Structure 1
Amino acid sequence: MPKPANLSVGLRLLLASQAMAPLAVKLGLIQQLGAEKAALLAPHMPPGQLRELIMAMPIEFVAAVVTHLDPRLILDTYLSLPDSLHLEVARQLCADGAFATAARYAECLAPKQIKVLIYGINDVDHVLQIARYIVDMPLISESLRSFSTGYLRKLTEAARIDGNVAVSAQVLSGLSLVRQADVCAGLQPATLRQLLPMLLLISGEALREQLPEAVLRLFAEQPA
């Protein structure tokens, strides 16, 4: 786990003065610091105090702070927060276009919690943008296992429009061959043409045995 950055003398004094201050005073001082300095201060706070502050801060400010903060530095506190707050912050990060930050924090969660995020974000384009920055693709595949085939198709079609079918291929390849075949069976020909070679390669051609004849025929008929 990375070490938190050393604090300046001023921030150390501020941290010491925070211990007995009322919550309203703490909130005001932290927000006056700005997001970047607040991110420096966060790993040095007692977990209970940090959690209390996060729960009371405006979501917009929390989202701004976490763009400057490695989640591993506050991991225990982050994981202790309710899923509803994880979702609010993720939505704000998406609204701010901070998809890389949303991905870093999502990867700290369990598959069931990521599933809650995906349901709550409820925007395939935003989910896709977050997925661009995910390193642990098996984690995302596990989170999506219980999603409907229709949703997985929507996600894949959005990936084609976004010019990033490779992300969908990585995610779908973590599902069973039967689920992969079900998704492929309802895709637009243009999407299927881009996706299927990737899935066949990843599966070592094993997926071919699960694909409906109509899909194989449609794929074979696609122009080069």
Structure 2
Amino acid sequence: MNELPELSIGQRLLLATQGVTPLALKVPVILQLGPRRVAELAPHLPAERLRELILALPIDFLAQATVHLDPRLILDAYLSLPDSLHLDVARQLCEDRQFATAARYAECLSAQQVKVLIFGLNSPGNVVRIARHIVDLELIVQSLRSFSTGYLCKLTEAADEDDNVQLSARVLGGLPLPRQADICAHLAPATRERLLPLLLKANGELRDLLPEHLQVAPA
């Protein structure tokens, strides 16, 4: 079970006044506390009040706070937030190079929400850097199913540039074989050369679906 962080006396006093203090007065106090202390305070707030507060705080502040906060401790509030805010915070986390944090929060979302996140980030490189920290790869597979072959090729080539073609093989291996074959046919040759043996090792039936010039002999 995830344990709530202990609060200082000052934080407890602030928490006690949350229900009676106008939002316009709360925000300056919260900002003065700083991201780490706010992260400690957040799980103790009712979901509705926390949501209201999150929506009033600057994106860069929220991104810094998420680094210190387990999203499972504020799950109801987090899932009630608009997808646009999830995207804005994810963008800031990428800018801050906090890809592991972005992954932790992404894993709490549905496949459809992750799809929106991937599309909105509009950066195959950042998507790959987040994905390398994702534990539930099936979530990534489901979110990518409806993406075009062209975009999946961009993601695969970005993973190759990130020296992580194994991740692509694991993700693409969850797609139907015809999709895998289509992606392989459109990849840059150098990337395909590194990826294809991994996909064939996972499922040799892929070979029969490849264009003739890509059908390699069994090892």
State the 1:119 CA deviation: 0.7
User: Are residues 1:173 and 2:173 paired?
Assistant: yes
Q: Which residue matches 2:208?
A: 209
1:104 match: secondary structure? helix
Moved over 2 A (4+): none
Amino acid at match of 1:107: E
Q: Describe the superposition over 1:16-65 as per-residue Cα deviations: whole angstroms up to 9, x where unpaired.
A: 12221110111111111111010000000111110000011011111110
Match of 1:106 in 2: 106
Instruction: Tell me the C-alpha RMSD between the 2 structures.
Output: 1.1
How many Å apart are 1:209 and its aligned residue?
2.1
Q: Which residue identity lines up with residue 213 of structure 1 in the other structure?
A: E
**Paired residue for 2:63?**
63
Q: Which moved more, 1:6-15 or 1:83-92?
A: 6-15
Identity of aligned residues (%): 62
Give yes or no for contact 2:208–2:215 (8 Å, CA) kept in 1: no
SS of the residue aligned with 2:88?
A: helix
3-state SS of 2:3 partner:
coil
Give structure 1 stretches of 5+ with no counterpart. Answer: none
Alignment-derived partner of residue 5 in structure 1:
5
Q: Offset of 1:84 from its aligned partner?
A: 0.9
Letter in 1 for 2:174: G
Partner of 2:122: 122
By how many angstroms is 1:206 displaced? 2.1
Rounded Cα–Cα distance in structure 1 between residues aligned with 2:102 and 2:171: 17
Aligned length: 217
CA distance in 1, matches of 2:54, 2:61: 9
CA shift, 1:196, in A, is: 1.1
Alignment of 1:126-145 (within 5 A): 126-145=126-145
Contact 2:160–2:191 under 8 Å retained in 1: yes
Query: 2-side partners of 1:82 and 1:189: how far apart?
Result: 40
Instruction: Name the SS for the 2:163 alignment partner.
Output: coil
Deviation at 1:211?
A: 1.4
Matched residue type, 2:142: E
The normalised TM-score by structure 2 is 0.96
User: Could you tell which deviates more after superposition, 18-27 or 67-76?
Assistant: 18-27
Match of 2:188 in 1: 188
Is 1:33 aligned with 2:71?
A: no
Shift of 1:2: 0.7
Give the CA deviation at 1:100.
0.6
